[in-house]
């Protein structure tokens, strides 16, 4: 039986450390005096927070691609590769055959390339023959910063997105980084 690791916002990762939404946030902005917002200034009181609207950090659910294309573990690798090519995508979520569509792996173009390099016949082998690792998944409410931190920590390029009903989408590292970089002010 394969288990999916789901990381919800603010919950500790499997590495035992809490994923902090602010850990990768751009906290390099300077106050008008040139000090960092949290820096202690000698002889003066700490800066008072300015009133204004709070900006909600974007979530994975806002960025994810809907999980419209999935593949079952007993499908041939060749058919999955064909589906990826037709969809112009580099990854497919491998799902269980139950109605919950729970992700049991993520098949990437690198996995297909490795199978070819190993001399395997893609028309003969099935996805479950590749022994793909179980996926780490996130909830749609997970912040992009948390997702980026998790992907970097575990060296993942793709994260399945699941809610209580099962798979709802897929998000990739490139899209997460682009979205986070667009938010950062240029100094």
Which pLDDT does position 67 carry in this prediction?
86
pLDDT-derived band at 19, boundaries 50, 70, 90: very low
Reported pTM: 0.68
8 A C-beta contact, residue 73 and residue 126: yes
Domain ranges of the chain: 60-183
Q: Tell me: the pLDDT tens digits for 25-72?
A: 333 333 333 443 344 334 444 445 555 444 578 999 999 999 888 999
Cross-strand pairs, 161 = 138, 169
CA–CA–CA angle 167, 173, 176 (5° rounding): 90
CATH architecture of residue range(s) 60-183: Roll (3.10)
Cross-strand pairs, 99 = none
pLDDT at 113 over 80: yes
């Amino acid at each position: 039986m394969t288990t999916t690791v789901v990381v919800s916002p603010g919950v500790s990762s499997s590495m035992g450390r809490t994923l902090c939404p602010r850990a990768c946030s751009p906290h390099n902005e300077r106050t008008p005096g040139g000090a960092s917002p949290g820096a202690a200034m000698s002889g003066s009181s700490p800066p008072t927070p300015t009133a204004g609207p709070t900006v909600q950090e974007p979530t994975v659910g806002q960025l994810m691609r809907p999980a419209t294309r999935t593949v079952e573990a007993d499908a041939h690798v060749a058919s999955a590769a064909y589906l990826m090519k037709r969809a112009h995508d580099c990854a497919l979520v491998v799902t269980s055959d139950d109605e919950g569509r729970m992700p049991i792996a993520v098949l990437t173009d690198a996995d297909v390339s490795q199978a070819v390099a190993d001399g395997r016949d893609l028309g003969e082998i099935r996805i479950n023959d590749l022994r793909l690792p179980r996926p780490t998944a996130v909830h749609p409410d997970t912040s992009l910063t948390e997702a980026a931190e998790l992907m970097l920590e575990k060296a993942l390029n793709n994260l399945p997105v699941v809610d209580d009903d099962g798979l709802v989408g897929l998000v990739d590292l490139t899209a997460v980084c682009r979205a986070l970089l667009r938010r950062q002010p240029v100094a």
